[in-house]
Chains A and B, each alone.
Chain A
Amino acid sequence: MIATAPPVAGLDELLLAMADDEFVIGFSDSEWTGIAPMLEEDVAMSSLSQDELGHAAALYALLGGVTGQDPDAIAYDREPGAYRHARLLDQGRGDWAMTIARRYLYETADSVRLEALADTSWQPLADLVGKLRREERYHLMHVGAWLERLASNDGEARHRLVTALETLGPHAGTVFTPLESEGPLVEAGVLARPMAELEKDWRTRVTDTFEPLGLPLAPATSDPWLGRTEHGEAFRWLWGEFTSVRRSDPAATW
């Protein structure tokens, strides 16, 4: 799929993984528009998911600049099997607790990943990561507030949160699925450290939050090497949704 060689080998793989993550979680969470637990939260979650889609658009645009492809074509014109988002984001919208659990696991992982890219040697990415980190700070605050509230409730809210974390646990670490081109990326100073090291940092941070709240920690990732390539039925459905307008008239100018 590469039209021109990227300035650093593997840059396209990294950008695609990040863009697909933001795109899929953004689209999944936008499903709450109109049905969130309360009006204010409905607006908040819709706005957060728009932020994620905005981040995805910026990352697809960077990727398009590297590969010579149209960013919209990258976002919408692939078959479901060609998406490279983490399997953590593949479990379907679920209930509110599932959404908060998934957002928490993803946002904390994304923030560790963005930190590892803060001083990236590829300047266009460094510029974008600086902006993304400023916005993600708010995202972390928002989802952290919800996690704490659901966890501190002795009733159904906590029960649902624990169930969601147990369901997502085996997939939680897939944000750090090793990239094929990870070696060259680290060597070129694009990525500060290998994904496996970032995952360790992330687990330490999540543990620091989860232990006092008595929440279940994510076990080791199942099939870690397939973390970004095996997408199930829930994603196929989501893909059908988010490509439906585009597929209805592929030649249309938007």
Chain B
Amino acid sequence: MSRASVRQAGSDAPTLEAWEVFRQEKDGDPMRHGGSVMAPDVELAMHYAREMFGRRQESVRLWVVRRGDILDLEDPDLLQPPLDRSFKKPGGYVMREKLAAAREAAGQEKPKARSR
């Protein structure tokens, strides 16, 4: 991903660049990508991240990262190798029947999906 930056009109105008914002909704949650803001420097990026992703008390923590500082890896040779990889997947080990049998033996109900 190329570093997105635009030059504003005028010779001494600051360069705006993109900052990616990650947010944590509540303590213990993972940091999730929230979106991005445009800002000329880290201080204003912090302000704008706070306004876009925190002003309604929807976050307890933000990470603000200059987009250009992110190592962007989308190389298919590295991530989507062309040869068969099925032997690296656990598909051959079907656990469902074994689990069901074990639960029956233990007299346990199937646990419900965890709700957040």
| A→B interface (CB under 8 Å) | 38-41, 43-44, 47, 138, 141-142, 145, 149, 153-155
Are B47 and A153 closer than 8 Å at their CB atoms? no
Contact of B12 among A43, A138, A154 (CB under 8 A): A154
Contact residues in B for A145 (Cβ distance below 8 Å): 43-44, 47
Chain B residues contacting A154 (CB-CB under 8 Å) are 12
From known contacts A39-B38, A145-B43, infer whether A44 and B12 are also in contact, taking CB-CB under 8 Å. no
B12, A40: Cβ atoms closer than 8 Å: no
Interface of A is mostly: helix
On B, residues with C-beta under 8 Å from A are 10, 12, 14, 16, 37-39, 43-44, 47-48, 50-52, 55
Interface contact A43-B48, CB-CB below 8 Å: yes
CA–CA, A5 and B87, complex, Å:
83
Q: Are B48 and A40 in contact (CB under 8 A)?
A: yes
CB distance from A96 to the nearest CB of B (A): 13
Max chain A CB contacts within 10 Å: which of B37, B38, B44, B51?
Answer: B51
Closest to B19 in A: A40
Contact of B51 among A47, A149, A153, A155 (CB under 8 A): A47
Q: Closest CB-CB distance, A214 to chain B, in whole Å?
A: 17
Report whether A44 and B48 are in contact in the complex, using a CB–CB cutoff of 8 Å.
yes
B43: chain A residues within 8 A (beta carbon): 145
In the bound assembly, the distance between CA atoms of A142 and B43 in angstroms comes to 9
Whether B52 lies near A40 (C-beta < 8 A) is yes
Chain A residue numbers with a CB within 8 Å of B16 are: 38
A112 to B64, CA, bound (A): 31
A199, B44: Cα distance in complex, Å: 30
Q: How far is the CA of A155 from the CA of B11 in the complex (A)?
A: 10
Q: State which of B14, B44, B51 has its C-beta within 8 Å of the C-beta of A43.
A: B51
Quick check: B55 and A47 within 8 Å, CB to CB?
A: yes
Contact partners of A43 in chain B: CB under 8 A: 48, 51-52
Contact across chains for B50 and A40 when beta carbons are under 8 A apart: no
**A204 to B: closest C-beta gap in Å:** 25
Q: Are B47 and A141 in contact (CB under 8 A)?
A: yes
* 9 A–B contacts from the bound complex (CB under 8 Å): A39-B38, A40-B37, A40-B48, A43-B52, A44-B48, A138-B50, A142-B47, A145-B47, A149-B14
Residues of A within 8 A of B47 (CB): 44, 141-142, 145
Smallest Cβ distance from A4 to chain B, in angstroms?
Answer: 35
For A40, what are the chain B residues with a Cβ–Cβ distance below 8 Å? 37-39, 44, 48, 51-52
Complex Cα distance A153/B10, Å?
12
Compute how far the CA of A154 lies from the CA of B90 in the bound complex, rounded to whole angstroms: 64
Q: Which residues of A contact B38 (CB under 8 A)?
A: 38-40
- What CA separation (Å) do A47 and B56 show in the bound complex? 10
Chain B residues with CB below 8 A from A153, complex form:
12
